[in-house]
Amino acid sequence: MKAETKFKKRSQTMWSHYTLMIKAVIISALVLMGIQTSLQGQDNKYTKPSWWFGGAAGANLNFYRGSTQELNADLIVPAIFHDGFGVGLYLAPLLEFHKPDTRLGFMLQAGFDSRKGKFDQIVNPCNCPADLSAKLTYLTIEPSLRLAPFKSNFYLYGGPRLAFDMAKSFKYDEGINPDYPDQENPPEITGDFSNMRSSVFSMQIGAGYDINLSSPDKQGQAVLSPFVSFQPYFGQDPRSIETWNITTVRVGAALKFGKGKKIEQPVKAAAVVVVPDPEVKFTVNSPTNIPVQRRVRETFPVRNYVFFDSGSAKISDRYVLITKDQVKDFKEDRLETFTPKQLSGRSQRQMTVYYNVLNILGDRMGRFPATVVRLSGASMEGTEDGLAMAESIKKYLVDIFGIEPGRINTEGRIKPRIPSEQPGATKELDMLREGDRRVTIWSESPELMMQYQTGPNTPLKPVEFVGVQEAPVDSYITFNVEGAEEALTSWSVEVKDDAGKVQNFGPYSKEKVSIPGKTILGTRPEGNYKVTMVGKTKSGKTVRQETPVHMVLWTPPENEEALRYSIIFEINDSDAINIYEKYLTDVVTPKIPKDGTVIIHGHTDIIGNDVHNQELSLARANEVSGIMKSALSKTGRTDVKFEVLGFGEDETLAPFENKYPEERFYNRSVIIDIIPSGK
């Protein structure tokens, strides 16, 4: 009875401390939010800092679950301890980066992390109460992705936790049987747990709120950020034996310091009583010469993914599958002989190359008998289904091309190593999951894969072919209506030639639209046009702006041949360009002729927000441009003209359709057109 009363009092005290701590954090946050409200009313003289430095402190609320009985090699207690609770100290310096008024950022904390606690009191077989407390201390490293979903002071964060064991002591105390009160208490036993993991790898998610402590007219700024995080038991079992695990809720606050940049204060204008509709500015960009078509030698990367239809582990009939008798006639430079049954209406030559991916792989493995590959099948239906997909490709290579089975390793996974569907995704899941049902071809053999690259996202070595490019990217007329998204509900274009013939295009809602120049000129070699933009404002008014344009069709010389290269990306990724740096520097850039023009245009698939996709495509194109310009600069060349464009998900300019996952994957690309100086 005394032991039970003692336990209840300890639990009540522990809970009292916990609630007091929570109340203190909430009251402090409310007070400081009031301070922040008064500060926000002032005119800012400095921007918010992008880089923050400081420290974080908090309390780890550690919940013990599972069981432990063997404390070390010298001590196995009579009964099993199960649940427990404790409060430990957390102290860490921090580094944080996020640009003002943006959503994404990065956080890094590394410091002292206590996971101490006390197990619930138990009664041993001798009817003696027993207590066990643990003092676990770690050095923790916690990088996190920071997300401010509303571009406000509220933020979410999450990431991995890597912790290294620093202390692992325990204290075991056994009381006396209350039926024999005259017994002498056994001595308290202390020591270190055995079989402790030297490091643990887990994860955390959390939320915080930045409360400004500084006036915006100060360059040096300080922020207090109350936060709470949840660190589930996954990966947090501290020992390599038994089932003891720890779930932690961390409550605390971070004090951060940064340095803002000075904002130039505009001169205040007099008050305007009548507010007019926002202005728009209409311009037309037309190339000096509009090429009708161009002969192009294209180096086309062969994507190392094979996509499977839902519910089937059979190779899709979109892919070209040949017979054993046809192997001797298969050549990479004669793929027009082996065309797929299904083709989209755009970029048929390129998709013919891709749909022969298994034949290209089999032919190369046959020509290079020392090469080996790994086929990694991924299926949400389970690893067995993923393995069946991989095995179907292996069977095709073995049966048709006679590849030794030992040269092909297969595996099954739930998700591919580079998945399209990211954690927390809620939109367009059907297309994302369709892209994740695939087999990845992975090899370290340079005879098979693209030069200078390794890893599961490395394409196969490109295939080179010559084709005629209809309506090249530099043949497009671009209509720009600056401010259209803010001022107009829609706008259209009237194009009138010198004979009075009118063509109409639209309506549009984006600020920039491109169409091939030949669409306007038709069979005319050249012409003068009056181009009029007709827009409807959000207040119901009609806006008209016009500009003259002269257009000239041009046919490149027959002996002129442009070059085209493609750089392909994973979903929502612009930094993957780093793996292509040596390829761009050593292979692509040296092919630029003297006084040549390089047109770099970025694209995305249709998954995601169109504004974000526009920014992403331009970021990809700028990355490629920067690498190539740097390579030219190192050789002293200044004769090359660059044009860098981002087309986003614009389906009129996208190189491929978006019907199948392979087409969407190829649309995540930057295309490099190298045009001789004769243009």
Element (H, E) at 207: strand 199-209
If you ran DSSP here, which 8-state letter would residue 587 be given?
I
d(CA 77, CA 174): 10
Domains of the chain: 2-40+49-259 (no CATH), 305-448 (3.30.1330.60), 471-554 (2.60.40.10), 562-675 (3.30.1330.60)
User: pTM score, two decimals?
Assistant: 0.55
Classify the phi-psi angles of 382: left when phi > 0, otherwise alpha if psi is within -120 to 50, otherwise beta. Answer: left
CB burial readout 35-72, b (16+ within 10 A) else e:
ebeebeeeeeebbbbbebebebebbbbbebebebbbbe
Going through 471-582 in order, the beta strands assigned E by DSSP cover 476-482, 488-497, 502-508, 512-516, 526-537, 542-554, 562-568
User: pLDDT at position 426, please?
Assistant: 60
User: Which residues neighbour 156 within 8 Å (Cβ) at sequence distance 6 or greater?
Assistant: 146, 147, 148, 149, 205, 206, 207
CB burial readout 585-612, b (16+ within 10 A) else e:
bebbbeebeeebbbbbbbbbbbbbeeee
User: Which residues neighbour 301 within 8 Å (Cβ) at sequence distance 6 or greater?
Assistant: 450, 459, 460, 462, 566, 567, 568
Work out the pLDDT band at 392, boundaries 50, 70, 90: very high
User: pLDDT at position 22, please?
Assistant: 46
Pick the range with the lowest mean pLDDT from 89-93, 514-518, 527-531: 514-518
User: pLDDT at position 545, please?
Assistant: 86
d(CA 520, CA 234): 62
* Selection from 593, 614, 588 nearest residue 602 by Cα: 614
**What is the CB neighbour count within 10 angstroms for residue 582?**
14
Using omega within 30 degrees of 0 as the cis cutoff, is the peptide bond preceding 507 cis?
yes
Q: Which amino acid is at 192?
A: D
Work out the pLDDT band at 25, boundaries 50, 70, 90: very low
User: pLDDT at position 427, please?
Assistant: 65
Query: What is the pLDDT averaged over residues 32-57?
Result: 66
Q: Where are the alpha helices (DSSP H) in 327-460?
A: 348-355, 357-367, 383-401, 429-436
pLDDT in tens, 310-348: 999 999 999 999 999 999 989 887 777 777 766 554 578
Q: How far is CA 506 from CA 263, 581, 646, in A?
A: 41, 40, 21
User: Which residues neighbour 451 within 8 Å (Cβ) at sequence distance 6 or greater?
Assistant: 461, 583, 587
User: pLDDT at position 561, please?
Assistant: 81
pLDDT in tens, 247-260: 999 999 999 999 88
pLDDT in tens, 144-186: 999 998 888 899 999 999 999 999 999 999 988 888 888 888 8
User: pLDDT at position 41, please?
Assistant: 41
Under a CB-based contact definition with an 8 Å cutoff, are residues 130 and 121 in contact? yes
User: pLDDT at position 424, please?
Assistant: 60
pLDDT in tens, 78-115: 999 999 999 999 999 999 998 888 889 999 999 999 99
Under a CB-based contact definition with an 8 Å cutoff, are residues 245 and 236 in contact? yes
CB burial readout 407-424, b (16+ within 10 A) else e:
bbebbbbeebebbbbeee
pLDDT in tens, 566-593: 988 776 555 556 678 888 999 999 999 9
Q: Where are the alpha helices (DSSP H) in 552-647?
A: 581-583, 610-634
d(CA 327, CA 22): 72
d(CA 334, CA 337): 6
d(CA 304, CA 308): 13
* Selection from 366, 337, 365 nearest residue 352 by Cα: 337
Work out the pLDDT band at 20, boundaries 50, 70, 90: very low
More confident residue, 16 or 437: 437
pLDDT in tens, 464-506: 888 777 777 777 888 888 877 777 888 898 888 888 888 888 8
